[in-house]
Structure 1
Amino acid sequence: MIEFKNVDLVFGKNPERALPLLDQGYDRDRLQSETGLVLGVSQANLKVNKGEICVLMGLSGSGKSSLLRCVNGLNPVTRGEVLIEHKGEVLNFFDADHQTQRDIRMKRISMVFQKFALMPWLTVAENIGFALDVQGLSKEEIARRVDAQLELVGLTEWRNHKPSALSGGMQQRVGLARALATESDILLMDEPFSALDPLIRQQLQEELLQLQSRLQKTIVFVSHDLDEALKLGNTIAIMKDGCIVQQGNPQDIVLNPATQYVEDFVAHTNPLHVLLCGDIADPLTVLPAKDDHYCIDTKQDCWFNADTGDAQCQNQTIKVQRWQEGDSMNDLIEAPTLVSASASFHEALEIRHRTGFVVLVECNDRSLKVIGDDQLYRGLLGKLG
Structure 2
Amino acid sequence: MSEALIQIEGLYKVFGRDPASVMPLVHEGRSKDDILAETGHTVGLKNINLTINKGEIFVIMGLSGSGKSTLIRHFNRLIDPTEGVIRVENTDVMQLSPKALESFRRHKMSMVFQRFGLMPHRSVIDNVSYGLSIQGVSKEVRLEKAKTWLETVGLAGYEEQYPSQLSGGQQQRVGLARALCTDAEILLMDEAFSALDPLIRSEMQDQLIELQEKLHKTIIFITHDLDEALRIGDRIAILKDGEMVQQGTPDEILLNPATDYVEAFVKDVNRARALTVETVMKPPSRRITADTIGEALLQMKAIKGDYAYYVTDDGYQGIVTQEALEAAYQPGDVAQQFDEEILEDLTAISPDALLETVIPETLEADYSLPVVDEEGNLKGELSKRSLAQVLGESERRDSVADSPK
Give TM class, smaller chain. 0.7 to 0.9
Q: CA RMSD in A?
A: 2.7
Structure 1 residues 52 and 305, CA gap change in structure 2 (3 angstroms): closer
Return the alpha-carbon distance in structure 1 between the equivalents of residues 35 and 302 of structure 2.
65
Return the alpha-carbon distance in structure 1 between the equivalents of residues 365 and 163 of structure 2.
49
Structure 1 residues 219 and 318, CA gap change in structure 2 (3 angstroms): farther
Counterpart residue number, 2:274: 274
Return the alpha-carbon distance in structure 1 between the equivalents of residues 271 and 223 of structure 2.
19
| Partner SS state of residue 247, structure 1 | strand
Structure 1 residues 345 and 33, CA gap change in structure 2 (3 angstroms): same
2:346 equivalent among 331, 336, 348: 336
Counterpart residue number, 2:80: 76
Contact 1:273–1:345 (8 Å) recurs in 2: yes
Counterpart residue number, 1:291: 301
Shift of residue 37, structure 1, vs aligned partner: 0.8
Counterpart residue number, 2:335: none
Q: Which runs of 5+ in 2 are unaligned?
A: 287-298, 313-317, 328-340, 398-405
How many residue pairs are counted as aligned between the two chains?
A: 357
Counterpart residue number, 1:242: 242
Shift of residue 314, structure 1, vs aligned partner: 7.2
Structure 1 residues 319 and 104, CA gap change in structure 2 (3 angstroms): farther
Which amino acid in 1 is paired with 2:129? G
Q: Percent identity?
A: 40
TM normalised by structure 2 equals: 0.81
Which amino acid in 1 is paired with 2:84? G
Structure 1 residues 344 and 134, CA gap change in structure 2 (3 angstroms): same
Shift of residue 341, structure 1, vs aligned partner: 4.4
Structure 1 residues 303 and 129, CA gap change in structure 2 (3 angstroms): same
Counterpart residue number, 1:28: 32
- Structure 2 counterparts to residues 121-140 of structure 1, below 5 A: 121-140=121-140
Counterpart residue number, 1:310: 319
Counterpart residue number, 2:337: none
Counterpart residue number, 2:289: none
Contact 1:293–1:305 (8 Å) recurs in 2: no
Which amino acid in 1 is paired with 2:184? S
Return the alpha-carbon distance in structure 2 between the equivalents of residues 284 and 48 of structure 1.
33
Q: Establish whether residue 51 from structure 1 lines up as the match of residue 55 from structure 2.
A: yes
Q: Which runs of 5+ in 1 are unaligned?
A: 296-301, 321-334
Return the alpha-carbon distance in structure 1 between the equivalents of residues 199 and 113 of structure 2.
19
Which amino acid in 1 is paired with 2:33? D
- Structure 2 counterparts to residues 166-205 of structure 1, below 5 A: 166-205=166-205
Return the alpha-carbon distance in structure 2 between the equivalents of residues 354 and 180 of structure 1.
46
Contact 2:309–2:370 (8 Å) recurs in 1: no
1:379 equivalent among 370, 374, 390: 390
TM normalised by structure 1 equals: 0.85
Return the alpha-carbon distance in structure 2 between the equivalents of residues 305 and 234 of structure 1.
31
| Partner SS state of residue 84, structure 2 | strand
| Partner SS state of residue 8, structure 1 | strand
Which amino acid in 1 is paired with 2:346? P
- Stretches of 4+ aligned residues off by more than 4 angstroms: 282-286, 292-295, 305-309, 313-318, 339-343, 353-357, 366-369
Return the alpha-carbon distance in structure 2 between the equivalents of residues 215 and 318 of structure 1.
46
Which amino acid in 1 is paired with 2:254? V
Return the alpha-carbon distance in structure 2 between the equivalents of residues 350 and 157 of structure 1.
43
CA offset digits 1:1-33 (Å, max 9, x no partner): 111110001111121112111111122111111
Which amino acid in 2 is paired with 1:34? E
Contact 1:111–1:179 (8 Å) recurs in 2: yes
Which amino acid in 1 is paired with 2:28? Q
Which amino acid in 1 is paired with 2:67? G
CA offset digits 1:268-301 (Å, max 9, x no partner): 1111233232332346679xx9724676xxxxxx
- Structure 2 counterparts to residues 221-236 of structure 1, below 5 A: 221-236=221-236
Shift of residue 246, structure 1, vs aligned partner: 0.5
Which amino acid in 1 is paired with 2:53? N
| Partner SS state of residue 376, structure 1 | helix
Which amino acid in 1 is paired with 2:301? D
Larger radius of gyration: 2
Contact 1:294–1:305 (8 Å) recurs in 2: no
Counterpart residue number, 1:345: 355
Which amino acid in 1 is paired with 2:393? G
Contact 1:280–1:376 (8 Å) recurs in 2: yes
Contact 1:54–1:236 (8 Å) recurs in 2: yes
Which amino acid in 2 is paired with 1:119? M
Contact 1:230–1:273 (8 Å) recurs in 2: no
Contact 1:294–1:304 (8 Å) recurs in 2: no
| Partner SS state of residue 128, structure 2 | helix
Return the alpha-carbon distance in structure 1 between the equivalents of residues 56 and 311 of structure 2.
39
Shift of residue 358, structure 1, vs aligned partner: 3.2
CA offset digits 1:144-198 (Å, max 9, x no partner): 2111111111111111111111111000000011111111001000001111110
Structure 1 residues 156 and 34, CA gap change in structure 2 (3 angstroms): same
* Larger displacement relative to structure 2 (344-353 or 18-27): 344-353
Contact 1:6–1:45 (8 Å) recurs in 2: yes
Which amino acid in 2 is paired with 1:43? N
Contact 1:292–1:305 (8 Å) recurs in 2: no
Structure 1 residues 305 and 174, CA gap change in structure 2 (3 angstroms): closer
| Partner SS state of residue 69, structure 1 | helix
Structure 1 residues 336 and 129, CA gap change in structure 2 (3 angstroms): same
Structure 1 residues 176 and 356, CA gap change in structure 2 (3 angstroms): farther
